[in-house]
Structure 1
Amino acid sequence: MDLLSVSVLLLLCVCCILLALTWGRKEGRGLRLPPGPTPLPILGNFFQLDRKDIVKSLVKMSEVYGPVFTVYLGLRRVVVLCSYKVVKEALVDQAEEFSGRGQIPSFSKEFNEHGVVFAHGDRWRLLRRFSLSTLRNFGMGKRSIEERIQEEARCLVEELHGTEGKPFDPTFIVSRAVSNIICSIVFGNRFEYNDKKFLRLNKLITERVRVTSTPQAALYNIFPEIMEKIPGTHHAGSRCSQAIISFIRERIKMQQASLDPSAPQNYIDCFLVKMEEEKGNACSYFHMDSLVMSTHNLFFAGTETVSTTLRYGILVLMKYHEIAAKVQDEIGRVIGSHRSPTMADRGQMPYTDAVIHEIQRFIDVAPLGAPHAVIRDTNFRGYLLPKGTNIITFLYSVHKDPTQFKNPEMFDPTNFLDEKGEFRRRDGFMPFSAGKRVCLGESLARVEMFLFFTTLLQRFTFQPTCPPEQLDLSPIATGIGNIPPLYKFYAIPR
């Protein structure tokens, strides 16, 4: 019997002991909660959830209970919002009410609500405002960051030339290139691709995301109080985070020693200066724990989301090689082969822009979206959601909404093209979420994806190690994120 089975058996034993004490759950009585499957005491809706594919379970429930329904993850009540219209009503039309941050036990326990991503209330507002301002001061949304990404893209091209026509796994080559962009903002420098510490950090980030989307992590998210006390692989993600945090603490200590308060060079420097300014304020949110966790949030998110999109996108473009060829034709007409792509080119490249947007929609890197919570008792679509209720904004249902996208299960760049072949925006495009909690690195990610994709397709043709029709695009794990299959390919110089 494996550890997971033993864990479930222990849970059932606990339930039998406590069943009589908890029967007739008081939680939710008298409230106008959304409908949902009947929960069992302690177990909640455990048996209605496929831990290997939570997304599929939620889709089935929405078909039965509608676009707003309640599900119990163990003792924790969660309201799930499905479809573009419903998610937009919550995150945009009632943005303030839904601006709280829900928790992911398997991912957020080490943060203790510190850091810009997992903070609440005034702490979140102040940290977000500071982080946005600082990121912009160091180039986000400006020409300087574009030039930095262009230079990193050239380094990535040289790295791919170094494969000498042999098949290779792109995971860590791509991850290091993307990570260097956020590193230059957060730490003030890029790392060489052969830097052992840098490679280890990128492996830790990739492993952290993979572990978070495993069935073991899903079990932890449902029964955190019990699973925390049981040894097993569900603790591997936390160990990855602790190793990343140790590196960040070491880096902060190094930068403290060389800090010039009159000329901060990066995000950490700016935060240290802010800490010094507020050292007399006992209630300040600018302290060492906030710095460590905010740096972790930015470094982690700034590395994984874009790098996953790039390597998943390469796989998609090898599967649909005729679409990749049309992108390369447009690159040839607009940019040519001798200069680097720029963001000014994007307006003249509607097909390329549409393909990049469709890749993001189709692969759906974060199908559940980041968890939200209502900050006060909230009336929503005829229901009353009590303060603190956790909310899943089911972005998968937004990106697969047939009212927003034709044939949403298919990869089709024309979703983002009008009748004249010009690029058109779609309200249902929400890979960065929406509203007050929209990803603060969205503008940076958009520039990275356009410049990296166009540079790679300008310089190389991607060739799979098997016939394109045999490529499987199904994620190898689906949970908090969609994890792309492992694969190798040939980068053929053009």
Structure 2
Amino acid sequence: MELSILLLLALFTGLLLLLARSYPKAQGHLPPGPSPLPFLGNLLQMDRGGLLKSFLKFMITIRGLYSAFLSTKWVVLCRNYQQADSRLGHKKDGFSVVMPRRYGQPQGYSLRGANRSYSWKTLRAFSLPPPRNFGREKKRQRHTRQTDQAQKKFYREKLGALLDPTFFFHAITANIICSMVFGERFAYKDPQFLRLLDTFYQTFALVSSFSSQLYCIAHRLLKHFPGPHRQVYKNLQKVNTFISCSVAKHRETLDPSTPRDFIDTYLLRMDKEKSNPNTEFHQRNLILTALSLFFGGTETTSTTLRYGFLLMLKYPHIAEKVRKEIEQVIGSHRPPALDDRAKMPYTDAVIHEIQRFGDFLPIGVPHMVTKDTYF
């Protein structure tokens, strides 16, 4: 019995020593930060209120840039706009790659989850032209008018009543993304569209939770245990299946002379580069990029609308100036167009101020360096 215990202790000690040898050391001269524990890093110092509260707590005792060890890797954190702009704004070649979020998804690249600089830049450049390049302009304007009519109908029905417009804002922004990506607009009571919206809304809530943030930090350990990350993965698989079915339908009806939407444009690019073995334009990237457009466009836009309405109610004099500029430039005889933005500096500034004031993404999107970097 004693021999068995000694063997177990020896085995356990050897395992600890092996782990200690493989424990990542800080490379180079990193900024100061809270002292990490072996194996756990700064995990026990994290606040249950989320990453933001944890980082704000670290900032109290450290000036300037600071670093932390989050389970498996060292990270450097910028505490203000000037520090972030000097790294991400002027040194894009070194800091341009976005770190992937890990939810057990299949290996691949996407607009926000690429792990290679060239792949990410190529897909981003292709995905961000004006929407009129992803189909006919008249069709896009028709979708805009339909969205505007749906908004008016919604507010007429709710006139004088208290309401939470969160779901409706998600619906109209998701429908705009659908018109760009799939070339079609869903009825707001369409069962398939409602299931898709419910999946999106549930996924946004799960990803924003503390347990999900903790999983992103310690995914190597927590991936073996049950948790919200498993539901996030299932939700992503549902959306991927939906996109895959739409891609198959587009392939059957593809007309090279008249691309209808983003999927058609991507399929034509795939056909053009099918002889290139190193092309980034293939089926997997199409699905993941469409998924990124949905998650990147729907949540940010709908949250901006929600905060925008609240702030316009609180500051009616600002709302009045925005209304006057809209009437002066656009009027009531036509839908808004992208070209109107340059003629509406006040409204443009108000939208940016809403996003700054609302602080929708307080931590920002994590980036990773692609080469040895000095800062």
TM-score range, shorter chain: 0.7 to 0.9
Distance 1:88 1:283 in 2: 33
Partner of 1:335: 327
Asked if structure 1 preserves the Cα contact closer than 8 Å seen for 2:179 and 2:185, the reply is yes
1:147 and 1:350, CA in 2 relative to 1: closer, same or farther beyond 3 A? farther
Structural mapping, 1:366-405, within 5 Å: 366-380=361-375
Secondary structure class of the residue paired with 2:93: coil
Partner of 1:62: 59
Structural mapping, 1:53-452, within 5 Å: 53-106=50-103, 109-110=104-105, 112-119=107-114, 120-133=116-129, 135=131, 137-138=133-134, 148-318=143-313, 320=314, 323-328=315-320, 331-332=323-324, 335=327, 338-339=332-333, 342=336, 352-380=347-375
Asked if structure 2 preserves the Cα contact closer than 8 Å seen for 1:187 and 1:266, the reply is yes
Partner of 2:49: 52
1:296 and 1:347, CA in 2 relative to 1: closer, same or farther beyond 3 A? closer
- The Cα of 1:312 is off from its aligned counterpart by 2.9
**Which residue identity lines up with residue 67 of structure 2 in the other structure?**
T
TM-score of the superposed pair, with normalisation by structure 1: 0.66
**Which residue identity lines up with residue 208 of structure 1 in the other structure?**
T
**Which residue identity lines up with residue 147 of structure 2 in the other structure?**
E
- Which deviations, in whole Å up to 9, do the C-alpha atoms of 1:309-334 show, x marking residues without a partner? 2123333444x2xx135413652586
Partner of 2:32: 35
Aligned pairs, number: 360
Secondary structure class of the residue paired with 2:158: coil
Distance 1:295 1:175 in 2: 17
**What stretches of structure 2 of length at least 5 have no aligned partner?**
1-11
Partner of 1:428: none
TM-score of the superposed pair, with normalisation by structure 2: 0.85
Distance 1:245 1:334 in 2: 38
**Which residue identity lines up with residue 121 of structure 2 in the other structure?**
R
- The Cα of 1:163 is off from its aligned counterpart by 2.8
Asked if structure 2 preserves the Cα contact closer than 8 Å seen for 1:34 and 1:68, the reply is yes
- The Cα of 1:191 is off from its aligned counterpart by 1.2
Asked if structure 1 preserves the Cα contact closer than 8 Å seen for 2:173 and 2:298, the reply is yes
Partner of 2:5: none
- Which deviations, in whole Å up to 9, do the C-alpha atoms of 1:193-241 show, x marking residues without a partner? 1111112212211211111111110221121122111113332222221
1:233 and 1:363, CA in 2 relative to 1: closer, same or farther beyond 3 A? same
Distance 2:271 2:341 in 1: 42
Higher relative contact order (CA 8 A, sep 6+): 1
- Cα RMSD (Å): 2.9
Identity of aligned residues (%): 35
Distance 2:148 2:36 in 1: 51
**What stretches of structure 1 of length at least 5 have no aligned partner?**
1-14, 381-494
Distance 1:334 1:208 in 2: 35
1:18 and 1:364, CA in 2 relative to 1: closer, same or farther beyond 3 A? farther
1:127 and 1:134, CA in 2 relative to 1: closer, same or farther beyond 3 A? farther
- Which deviations, in whole Å up to 9, do the C-alpha atoms of 1:398-446 show, x marking residues without a partner? xxxxxxxxxxxxxxxxxxxxxxxxxxxxxxxxxxxxxxxxxxxxxxxxx
1:35 and 1:258, CA in 2 relative to 1: closer, same or farther beyond 3 A? same
Secondary structure class of the residue paired with 2:169: helix
Structure with greater strand share of residues: 1
Distance 1:299 1:334 in 2: 28
Asked if structure 1 preserves the Cα contact closer than 8 Å seen for 2:135 and 2:259, the reply is no
Instruction: Indicate the structure (1 or 2) with the bigger Cα radius of gyration.
Output: 2
Distance 1:47 1:342 in 2: 51
1:329 and 1:135, CA in 2 relative to 1: closer, same or farther beyond 3 A? closer
